[in-house]
């Protein structure tokens, strides 16, 4: 059974969502704008309101109108979004091959021995691989 797919979020929209996820509460549009501007000082408030509106139209933000003001909460968790993005990248960029992801990661990233040991431990705990004298 395929898990629910989320709407695609642009890099700019993701910056707004990071604020909403970090706050983890109902926020007014102004609160979101203020907090986004703390990290993205070059953005104009109207740009941020446009991004909020797009996210609401995509269903990524829930909107509750109170009087003349809108209040927003995330309709998806950050963890669920990251999992969906990882699945999408795995399929789209690596043809579904976890091995290709790891190979690319190892070729393009400085990985410490400690991180490799942690990855081995995660794989062991998942029950997908066992190591014998440091090899698969």
Domain with CATH 1.10.10.10 in the chain: 11-74
Regarding predicted confidence, which is higher, 135 or 60?
60
21-47, pLDDT tens digit by residue? 999 999 999 999 999 999 888 999 999
Give the CATH number of domain 11-74; options: 1.10.10.10, 3.30.200.20, 1.10.3720.10, 2.40.30.10: 1.10.10.10
Six-digit token string for 16:
């707004």
What was the pLDDT predicted at 128?
Answer: 67
Q: Diameter of the chain by CA atoms?
A: 66
Question: How sure is the predictor about 76, in pLDDT bands with cuts at 50, 70 and 90?
Answer: very high
Question: How sure is the predictor about 127, in pLDDT bands with cuts at 50, 70 and 90?
Answer: confident
Q: Is 11 helix (H, G, I), strand (E, B) or coil?
A: helix
Which DSSP string corresponds to 59-122? TSEEEEEETTEEEEEESS-HHHHHHHHHHHHHHHHHTT-HHHHHHHHHHHS---HHHHHHHHHH
Query: pTM for the whole thing?
Result: 0.78
What was the pLDDT predicted at 4?
Answer: 60
Regarding predicted confidence, which is higher, 50 or 87?
50
Decide: residue 55, CB within 10 A, 0-12 exposed, 13-18 middle, 19+ buried. Answer: buried
What was the pLDDT predicted at 3?
Answer: 53
């Amino acid at each position: 059974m395929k898990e629910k797919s989320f709407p695609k979020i642009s890099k700019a929209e993701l910056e707004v969502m990071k604020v909403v996820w970090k706050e983890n509460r109902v926020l007014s549009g102004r609160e979101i704008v203020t907090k986004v501007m703390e990290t993205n000082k070059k953005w104009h408030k109207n740009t941020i309101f446009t991004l909020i509106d797009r996210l609401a139209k995509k269903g990524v933000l829930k909107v509750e109108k109170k009087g003349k003001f809108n209040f927003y909460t995330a309709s998806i968790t950050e963890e669920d979004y990251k999992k969906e993005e990882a699945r999408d990248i795995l399929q789209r960029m690596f043809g579904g091959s976890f091995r290709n992801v790891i190979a690319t990661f190892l070729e393009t990233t400085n990985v410490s021995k400690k991180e490799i040991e942690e990855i081995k431990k995660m794989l062991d705990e998942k029950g997908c691989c066992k190591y014998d004298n440091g090899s698969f």
